[in-house]
Amino acid sequence: MALASLLVLPLLASALPAEGRTMTAVAASPSDRSATQVVHVRPTDRRGVKLPQYRVVRLLRDAQCQPGSQAVIGAFRCFARHDVLDPCWLERDREHFQALCLGDPWSDQLTRLRISTFGGYPPYKGGTYPWGLRLANGSRCLTVQGAGGVFHGRRVQYGCRHNVYVLDGLHRDRRVWRGDTVTYDKSAGKFRNGPTRKIAKAFIGLKSWQPGHD
């Protein structure tokens, strides 16, 4: 499983796993097949119970979790051993204080954390900005965490394959969303302007369950 980690430009994880079959996209009408589909992602239900389509592939103990996920508003950023796991969602359990973490929004593989140090809860509200994208050309792009680049005053928001990035400020005013891309030129050590790409799917993480908000 590819755990979420700090992405330092221009490096990017070389392998993004195939899009999971566990997500539910907003259905498009027959006359609206080209519209961008919004996929909401959270490995638990609203009560914090793990959804059956996700599977736990790793268990880490003595984890530290804090509010302020860099990928999903209302989720958690956690640390265990030498790993940074972001985003994570609290899991309801009678015996342990624990969380479930996803490495990317199209995966069904989870890391379960037993939390020993907890930094509190984030505001109980969600966001509408995507955690990940699938462009119309098939490329998958994931939110850049940590120190990102800037191009003409705009943050480099998503990292894709082949040194391609999508800038913040997605164009969401039409049925088909679009994103402005840049390419990182390794030899010159700078970003170069790229085309505006259509977005086929936008993966938006939902806020974590919290005790008292059932």
What pLDDT sits at residue 20? 37
pLDDT in tens, 66-89: 999 999 999 999 999 999 999 999
6 residue type, one letter: L
What torsion, rounded to 10 degrees, do the Cα atoms 109, 114, 119, 124 define? Answer: 50
Secondary structure class of 77 (helix, strand, coil): strand
152 to each of 144, 162, 180, 204, 206, how far by Cα in Å?
17, 21, 12, 26, 31
Domain ranges of the chain: 40-126, 132-204
Secondary structure class of 32 (helix, strand, coil): helix
Give dist(CA 178, CA 133) in Å, integer.
10
| pTM given for the model | 0.84
What pLDDT sits at residue 16? 38
In DSSP terms, 110 is beta-bridged to 56, 102
What pLDDT sits at residue 34? 83
**N- to C-terminal Cα distance for the chain?**
30
| CB 129, CB 118: distance < 8 Å | no
Given a cut of 70, whether residue 32 has pLDDT beyond it is: no
104 burial (CB, 10 Å; 0-12 / 13-18 / 19+) is: buried
